[in-house]
Amino acid sequence: EVALTVPDKKVDSVCPYCGVGCQLTYNIKDNKIMYVEGRDGPANHERLCVKGRYGFDYAHHPHRLTKPLIRRADAPKRGDFTMDPDRVMDVFREATWEEALAFAGDTLAQIRDQHGKKSLAGFGSAKGSNEEAYLFQKLVRTGFGSNNVDHCTRLCHASSVAALLEGIGSGAVSNPVMDVMKAEVVIIIGANPTVNHPVAATWIKNAMKNGTKLIVCDPRRSELARTAHRYLQFKPDTDVALLNAMMHVIVSEGLVDQHFIASRTIGFEELERNVAGYSPELMAPICGVDADTIRYVARLYATSKASMILWGMGISQHIHGTDNARCLIALALMTGQIGRPGTGLHPLRGQNNVQGASDAGLIPMMFPDYQHVTDPAVQERFAKAWNLAPGVLDDKPGLTVVEIMHAIKEGKIRGMYIMGENPAMSDPDANHAREALAALDHLVVQDIFLTETAYLADVILPASAFPEKTGSFTNTDRLVQMGRQAIDPPGDAKQDLWIIQQIATRLGLDWSYNHVSEVFDEMRHTMPSIGGITWERLEREHAVTYPCLNEGDPGDPVVFTDTFPRESGRARFVPADIIPADERPDDEYPMVLITGRQLEHWHTGSMTRRTAVLDAIEPDPVALVHPLDLAAMKGKPGDVVTIESRRGKVTLYARADDSSPRGAIFVPFCYYEAAINKLTNSALDPFGKIPEFKYCAIRVALGGQV
Ligand code: SF4
C-alpha cells in the first residue's frame, strides 16, 4: 500500500482545464498519474481547484481510443444516436495507422481536387498546444487552400475579441487577474469565477479581504455576489441598458478623465451624444436595477484610484455581445481606468489554451498574431515564411463555426477535419449541427474518446491526452507556459503533432518538424508578439508573458501604458444601442434558457465525466429552476422535467436554485444524455459571429424519461 503511493517520477506541467493556467506537478508511477500537486506558478501560487487537483484520471479511462477506427460499410449512416462506447465495434472497425491515415488524408485531398479548395474546413482545438494550433491552421491554409478554420473561441469570446480589436487594437487582456489585488474597485459582469475560474476567484476574495470593493453585475446571483460590496441583478439581456446608464452618470456628472480622453482616444463626442439618452431613471425599469444604485456604482468605478473590469460569457454570448463589450471598453476609456496596475479590461478566457489557439491563427479571418488575411503585405509575409509562391494563400476570410454547419447543409462544405472539438455537443441548435456533420462526404475526427462528434466520423484517429505530450499553452493573462509530457499515450494512440503532420503529407505538404520546439521557433518568427520567447527560455522559466518582442525582454503583464496598438496609437469609442435577444419569450415558450458550466464538469463533459471524483460529485444532468417556478409546476427538487424550445427538447432532473430570477432556467451543457444545445439558438452576433447561448425561449413541464 505504502509503496503504491510513492511516485517514481514528478513532472512539472500546467492544468488542462480553464484559462487561469494553474501550474501543477504530476506524480507518476508505472505510467499512471497517482496524484497532482499545485506548483508555485504566477497565476496560482500552488493553489488548485477541484478540477485541477482531481480531474486527471480521464487519461487512464478504459474508454480511451487506442486504435484508429474506420466506419464499417454496413454501419447505420450517422443520424441521431445513443452514446454507447461498449458498442463501438458495431459501427467502426479497427484499422492500421497506414490505412486510416491514407483513407483520412487521401479522401480530403480528393474532395479538394474535385470540388475546390473551399469545399473543406477544419476545427482545431483550444485544448491543444500552441504548436498544434499553429500547425493545424497552417495545414488548412496551405493544404486545404482556404481560411475555413476555426475553433471554440467562436463560441466563447469572439464578440469580446471583435470589440477589443476594434476599440483598443488587441484582443487579449490588458492586466492579469492577479491585478485585482491592486485594484480599489473590481467590476465582474457576466462571469461566475467561483465556478468557471475557481483559483482566480480565490484572488478576488483575497482582494476583498484587503479592502477592494467588488461589484458583481449578473442576472444570476453567483457565490461572489454574496460577499460583494454591491450586487446588481439586472434582467437577462439588458447589459447595454445598464452600462449605458452608468456611462450617462459618469458623463453628466463630469467624472470623465478629460486628459485621458483628449490624449489617448478618438470618438468620444459620438459616445457622449449616444449615452445622453440613457439616464438611470429611464433605464432602471428596463434593466431592473434602481437608478440610485446605478449612480452609486458608476461614481465608485469612475472615481477610484484603480478600477478593473472582468467579464465572461454572460457578456459575450449574445447577438449583441460585441455591443456589450464595446460598452465595457468605453467605460474604461472615459474614466482612464486602463494602462496602469489594478485597472483595465480582462475577458476571462475559458479553455486552458483558447488565448493561445487564437493567437496562433486558429481563426478564419486572421493569420497568426491577428494579422488580417486580406492584407496583401501579411499574405506576402506568410507566403515567404511558409515557402509558398506569392498569391497562393486565400485572401478572403473563411467561414466561422456556425457558418460552416450551414455551408455543409447547403452542399458547399463536403469534408472536414476536426481535432479535439465536439461540435455535436457544443454547437447551438445541436440537432442541426449533428445533421450537418452526418451529411458530410468525409469526416475525420482526431480525439481521445468516442465523442458525440467522433461517432459521426468516417475515420477516427486516436490522439494523446494533455499529460501525454509537450507543448506551450497561453493562459488568460497572456502567459505562455510549458506543459510537459508526463505519461505515454495508451495502445496505438499517437501525439497530435505527429498526426497533423501525417495528414499534411497526404495533402501534398512537405513538412519536416522533428521536435515541438521547431514548430515553436517557426511561430515566434511569424508572430512578433512572442518574438522574444525562445523554447529554451520557456524550458528554463516555465512561463513568459507576451508581448515579448526581443530576447531578454521580460514581457509586459500590464499593457497600453502609453499607447494603444491602433494606427493612431489611440483607442476608439464605439457607441452601442439596445438590441433585443433574437428569440424573446412568448405565450408558447414563456421562459428563458441560460446555459453555462458547473464547477465539477468541463464543457462537453468528455474528460470530467470520465473522472471518478468529479463524476461522483455531479453524476446526473440537472436543470437549475427557481423554487417558486418549480412549486408553480407542482414539482419538487429531484423531479424529472422536460425542457423544450423550437429546436428540440431534453429531459433531466430539476434542482431548486434561486440564483436565477424567476422565469429563467440554467442548464449546464456537459451532459450528453440531455444535450442542452439541442435547444439553443444559432442566431449570431454580426461582428463576432458568436451564437446566442445565453438567451432563448423555452417551456418546461414535469415528467419525461432521463
Ligand atoms: Fe485548473 Fe482552472 Fe482550476 Fe486552476 S482554476 S486548477 S487552471 S481548472
- Output the 3-class SS for 398-419: CCCHHHHHHHHHCCCCCEEEEE
Distant-in-sequence, close-in-space partners of 558: CB < 8 Å, separation ≥ 6: 174, 175, 176, 179, 339, 340, 341, 344
- Which 3-state string (H, E, C) describes 36-90? EEECCCCCCCCCCCHHHHHCCHHHHCCCCCCCCEEECCCCCCCCCCCCCHHHHHH
Choose among 66, 10, 78, 73: nearest CA to 38. Answer: 10
What pLDDT, on the 0 to 100 scale, is given for residue 588? 98
User: Measuring from each residue's beta carbon to the nearest atom of ligand 1, which residues come in under 6 Å?
Assistant: 15, 17-18, 20-22, 44, 48-49, 51-52, 197-199
Cell numbers 500590464 correspond to what residue? Answer: 558
What pLDDT, on the 0 to 100 scale, is given for residue 42? 97
Using CB atoms within 10 Å of the CB of residue 249, give its burial: 0 to 12 exposed, 13 to 18 middle, 19+ buried: buried
What is the β-pairing status of strands 664-668 and 591-596?
Answer: parallel
CB contact at 8 A, 220 and 250: no
Closest residue (by CA) to atom 2 of ligand 1?
Answer: 18
Closest ligand 1 atom to Cα of 15: 1
Q: Say how many C-beta atoms besides its own lie within 10 A of residue 391's C-beta.
A: 10
- Tell me the β-bridge partners of 215: 187, 230
User: Backbone dihedral region of 560: left (phi > 0), alpha (psi from -120 to 50 degrees) or beta?
Assistant: left
Q: What is the pLDDT of residues 21-47, one digit of tens each?
A: 999 999 999 999 999 999 999 999 999
How far, in Å, is the centroid of ligand 1 from the Cα of 56? 12
CB contact at 8 A, 699 and 644: yes
How far is the C-alpha of 696 from the C-alpha of 505, rounded, in Å?
A: 44
Distant-in-sequence, close-in-space partners of 41: CB < 8 Å, separation ≥ 6: 14, 21, 22, 23, 481, 542, 543
- Look up residue 207 and give its amino acid: A
φ/ψ of 350, rounded to 5, equals: -80, -70
Please give the C-alpha separations between residue 471 and each of 43, 55, 131, 466, 517, in angstroms, as whole numbers: 18, 20, 7, 9, 8
Cell numbers representing residue 400 in the block: 466561422
What pLDDT, on the 0 to 100 scale, is given for residue 78? 62
What pLDDT, on the 0 to 100 scale, is given for residue 493? 98
How far, in Å, is the centroid of ligand 1 from the Cα of 21? 6
Quote the pTM value: 0.96
Closest ligand 1 atom to Cα of 14: 7
φ/ψ of 609, rounded to 5, equals: -75, -5
How far is the C-alpha of 329 from the C-alpha of 165, rounded, in Å?
A: 11
How far is the C-alpha of 543 from the C-alpha of 472, rounded, in Å?
A: 9
Best residue among 44, 177, 202 to mutate for probing ligand 1's pocket (most ligand atoms within 8 Å of CB) is 44
How far is the C-alpha of 107 from the C-alpha of 608, rounded, in Å?
A: 33
Residues of the chain with pLDDT under 70: 1-4, 77-85
Which ipTM did the prediction report? 1.00
How far, in Å, is the centroid of ligand 1 from the Cα of 178? 14
Query: How wide is the angle at C-alpha 321 spanned by C-alphas 317 and 324, nearest 5°?
Result: 130
Cell numbers representing residue 52 in the block: 485541477
What pLDDT, on the 0 to 100 scale, is given for residue 88? 79
How far, in Å, is the centroid of ligand 1 from the Cα of 595? 20
Closest residue (by CA) to atom 3 of ligand 1?
Answer: 49
What pLDDT, on the 0 to 100 scale, is given for residue 74? 84
How far, in Å, is the centroid of ligand 1 from the Cα of 126? 15
What pLDDT, on the 0 to 100 scale, is given for residue 2? 46
Query: How wide is the angle at C-alpha 505 spanned by C-alphas 112 and 406, nearest 5°?
Result: 35
Q: Where are the beta strands (DSSP E) in 368-515?
A: 371-372, 415-419, 442-447, 459-462, 471-474, 479-483
How far, in Å, is the centroid of ligand 1 from the Cα of 129? 16
How far, in Å, is the centroid of ligand 1 from the Cα of 510? 38
Q: Which run of H or E residues covers position 383? A: helix 376-385
The conformation of residue 179, written as its DSSP 8-state character, comes to G
Cell numbers 477506427 correspond to what residue? Answer: 69
Cell numbers 485597472 correspond to what residue? Answer: 343
